[in-house]
Structure 1
């Protein structure tokens, strides 16, 4: 049915947080920091996990992982979890899904783009502890994947630059999303 309102998702009390950025910009670290600081009842929906591990799919326009990310986030929100969706999530491929998810969410939604320059992503990438990953993902890959300021349309995102520390970024997102004022549920 064209023009129909999207099915709503979550509750007025759930929080949806989207963290995007280039490879090695700190997205997974921010998501882990949010979960560590908040506690239980916060689902982390990671693009890499669903695309690379669950589906073993290449990142391409129209990929199956786009729908799986959407379904997973919606399921968690509908079951009372707060959700962090994190990944590179290129705007041209994932933007429509993210926009629809944010529009459909009944609670507070906040989207963030970690704006880290290419040279800093290469430096951060080299510090990853997974040597097997470092053998397979080279600075050449980072060059191919890098998109400067790949922002979602409609000023949907808050840009956080490379000068923000991990703790500072986590604090900011907790505060701006209101998660710092919510008691976690012990599931």
Structure 2
């Protein structure tokens, strides 16, 4: 579930503190998790705005949870954004504030993914961890 989609499209909301999208993300993730679905929650989620919600999901979920921080420089973020369909919806200046607000979370165990990791390597790593979880490994 994309944080941007829920916030910008479903709620037509900017990202102020205590925004409605935070509760919607939490409830949607909990709904799916409670019914045995896997959930991928994706977005730029600053600790200041989203940390409490993410920590709550982590603590309340009986299964394994994985959190990843894509440790990517500003220059690389801008380059990657230029290849996305959303490129025309919001630009570099819009992203500058989000980027400055981003950073690792303290409230959950988070794995850093280096900028040098390719898309294929990143996907393979996450899939390997998820499959290990499904086979009963901890």
TM-score (norm 2): 0.89
Contact (CA 8 Å) 2:46, 2:102: kept in 1 or not?
no
* Match 1:87 to one of 43, 59, 66: 43
Contact (CA 8 Å) 2:67, 2:110: kept in 1 or not?
yes
Pairwise CA RMSD: 1.8
What count of residue pairs does the alignment treat as equivalent?
A: 135
Residue in 2 that maps onto 1:111: 67
User: Are 2:96 and 1:143 equivalent residues in the alignment?
Assistant: yes
Give 1:136 shift.
Answer: 3.8
Contact (CA 8 Å) 1:115, 1:149: kept in 2 or not?
no
Larger radius of gyration: 1
The answer to which structure has the higher strand fraction is: 1
Q: Distance in 1 between matches of 2:106 and 2:51?
A: 8
Contact (CA 8 Å) 2:70, 2:113: kept in 1 or not?
yes
The answer to which structure has the higher helix fraction is: 2
Give 1:142 shift.
Answer: 2.1
Residue in 2 that maps onto 1:98: 54
Question: After superposition, where does 1:32-71 map in structure 2 within 5 Å?
Answer: 45-71=1-27
TM-score (norm 1): 0.67
Q: Distance in 1 between matches of 2:29 and 2:100?
A: 25
Q: Identify which of structures 1 and 2 has the higher relative contact order when contacts are C-alpha pairs closer than 8 Å and 6+ apart.
A: 1
Contact (CA 8 Å) 2:52, 2:107: kept in 1 or not?
no
Contact (CA 8 Å) 2:74, 2:99: kept in 1 or not?
yes
Structure 1: tracts of 5 or more residues without a match = 1-44, 183-187
Structure 2: tracts of 5 or more residues without a match = none
